[in-house]
Homo-oligomer: A and B are copies of this chain.
């Protein structure tokens, strides 16, 4: 790369999972408007066709200074990369069908099923060995690159990168906290008539694990937002807050009226900062996910995998239109911070934001080494966690159990110890089954995705 007049040119990015029809397009859009950086994105995907399509789409964006190149090997993508982006889908939606819906036969409902709960555990078993491979390739080809992970289950994927290659400069990136900041900005309008506040103007301290992150403070200018949020939560606890209903894709599958978020705040005193569909999955299963009626009452949706399949179909159709030129690629900033983080790491601007990295002591009362979500400073070639104090006592029992379980799960996978993985499965807040039933479900779920699990010694 070169620095010319506050602009960085000739950057090399490797995009692992470069055939993505979702994150990839968002990144293309965000890069197109970042005028102070440019370079080439090498798209690598086990589905080379998909990468090739994205090459065409990316290179067709008029506003963009970036070049996209689909490559057939991960080596080509990684060699000399300055940044590596990982957003892969481990397995197919058929595998995910088992992850999400088979537990329903045992009375276990999952609103997302890719992060935690039975589905998250099995997805991790499938995904983490791939991440081990990726980490080894990064060590070989571009050990000094910055590695940005968007793949779920975020926490354990990021963790295993560090376990495999301890000097990796990786972090996990997620937009859920930003959604909560947006909610707070809307609240400022509703409660105080303050309009046009950008989500970045809501400064917050965050602590937790990805998708179960909590704000321990939120501030706008010199205003402490917690007392206002208390009133706001009390007003909306009954019927929820429906600002998202007007957004196109919000149907039942993605429904969330923030009632879980309000309930958690009114009981715990801290703002849970992810969508309700995620938050519910980290709590004891009887609270919000006991059965579909209860879920409906709490105002959020159980996203069925069929919805994802339909959604994928429509994205594939769009891909065709984009390639054929029938549809023009429309630049629309995603609200993600990936590109800003990249700019900060290049030294163009300091940035303080939340991120997922191993706990080196920034959260003194969670296990060292566990990947946690806290604020961090992004500066020239430097990513440092902001000291976050301990997890507040009110939410410590909820979070320590999850974080400890995640570490144990990574142990299990690294050691290829399927029985150890079952310890996490059985003790998951959603599982709530007698041990024999839990094991039966676990074994069936594993059998359903067994073609990805050859590295484990699974007794038949």
* A interface, CB within 8 angstroms of B: 1, 3, 8, 201, 203, 205, 217, 219-222, 224, 263, 267-268, 284-287, 290, 294, 346-347, 350-352, 360-362, 364-365, 367, 375, 377, 379-382, 384-390, 393-394, 396-398, 400-402, 404-405, 407-408, 411, 419-420, 422-424, 426-427, 431-435, 438
Residues of B within 8 Å of A397, CB to CB, are: 400-402, 404-405, 408, 424, 427
Interface centre among A375, A380, A438 (most CB of B within 10 A): A380
Residues of B within 8 Å of A433, CB to CB, are: 286
CB atoms of B364 and A220 under 8 A apart: no
- Give chain B nearest CB distance to A98 CB in angstroms: 22
CB atoms of A219 and B284 under 8 A apart: no
Contact of A375 among B377, B390, B400, B424 (CB under 8 A): B377
Q: A393-B404, A397-B427, A400-B404 known; 19 other A-B pairs, CB under 8 Å?
A: A219-B379, A222-B381, A224-B381, A267-B423, A284-B431, A350-B351, A352-B379, A360-B389, A361-B387, A386-B386, A393-B407, A394-B420, A394-B423, A396-B400, A397-B400, A397-B401, A397-B408, A400-B400, A401-B401
- Give chain B nearest CB distance to A197 CB in angstroms: 11
- Give chain B nearest CB distance to A318 CB in angstroms: 36
Residues of B within 8 Å of A435, CB to CB, are: 263, 287
Interface centre among A294, A384, A431 (most CB of B within 10 A): A384
The 19 sampled A-B contact pairs (Cβ below 8 Å) are A201-B347, A203-B381, A203-B382, A217-B382, A220-B380, A221-B346, A284-B426, A285-B432, A286-B431, A286-B438, A350-B352, A360-B387, A361-B387, A362-B387, A384-B388, A393-B408, A394-B423, A397-B424, A398-B427
In the complex where A284-B427, A396-B367, A408-B393 touch, is A221 in contact with B387 (Cβ < 8 A)?
Answer: no
- Give chain B nearest CB distance to A434 CB in angstroms: 5
CB atoms of A385 and B386 under 8 A apart: yes
Give Cα distance in the complex from A352 to B380, angstroms: 12
CB atoms of B389 and A387 under 8 A apart: no
CB atoms of B380 and A203 under 8 A apart: yes
Give Cα distance in the complex from A286 to B434, angstroms: 5
Please give the count of copies of this chain that the complex contains.
4
Residues of B within 8 Å of A377, CB to CB, are: 352, 375, 377, 386
Contact of A347 among B203, B346, B393, B420 (CB under 8 A): B203
- Give chain B nearest CB distance to A9 CB in angstroms: 12
Give Cα distance in the complex from A8 to B220, angstroms: 13
In the complex where A387-B360, A387-B386, A435-B287 touch, is A219 in contact with B393 (Cβ < 8 A)?
Answer: no
- Give chain B nearest CB distance to A118 CB in angstroms: 14
- Give chain B nearest CB distance to A116 CB in angstroms: 12
CB atoms of A3 and B221 under 8 A apart: yes
CB atoms of B386 and A434 under 8 A apart: no
Residues of B within 8 Å of A294, CB to CB, are: 434
Contact of A380 among B219, B290, B346, B351 (CB under 8 A): B219
Interface centre among A3, A285, A420, A434 (most CB of B within 10 A): A434
- Give chain B nearest CB distance to A279 CB in angstroms: 14
In the complex where A350-B350, A385-B387 touch, is A203 in contact with B287 (Cβ < 8 A)?
Answer: no
CB atoms of B386 and A384 under 8 A apart: yes
- Give chain B nearest CB distance to A286 CB in angstroms: 5
Nearest 6 interchain pairs by C-beta: A400-B400, A397-B404, A401-B401, A396-B404, A219-B380, A221-B347
Residues of B within 8 Å of A411, CB to CB, are: 393
Closest to A419 in B: B267
Residues of B within 8 Å of A404, CB to CB, are: 393, 396-397, 400
CB atoms of B419 and A219 under 8 A apart: no
Give Cα distance in the complex from A431 to B412, angstroms: 28
Give Cα distance in the complex from A435 to B396, angstroms: 19
Residues of B within 8 Å of A398, CB to CB, are: 401, 427
